[in-house]
């Protein structure tokens, strides 16, 4: 029986190795994309925006007695 189970074990091990390779490739691609995105942000930063104007509060809590 050991001879019939050996090809199955080899198939499982090869499938596991292939799965690990695919996952590591996907992780490397995602890291490369994130790195490129960060480089683009550093190269062309957003222009500074004017601060938003907030009118003074009209609630009674902010006023003195």
Residue-wise pLDDT for 7-52, tens only, equals 899 999 999 999 999 999 999 999 999 999 888 877 776 667 777 7
State the Rg of the chain over Cα: 30
Cα–Cα distance between 17 and 22 in angstroms, integer? 9
Say if residue 57's pLDDT is above 70.
no
What is the full DSSP assignment across 6-28?
HHHHHHHHHHHHHHHHHHHHHHH
């Amino acid at each position: 029986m050991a001879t019939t189970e050996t090809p199955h074990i080899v198939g499982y091990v090869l499938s596991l190795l292939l799965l690990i390779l695919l996952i590591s490739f996907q992780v490397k691609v995602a890291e490369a994309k994130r790195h490129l995105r960060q480089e683009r942000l550093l190269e062309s930063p957003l222009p500074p925006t004017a601060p938003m104007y907030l009118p003074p509060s009209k609630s009674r809590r902010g006023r003195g007695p």
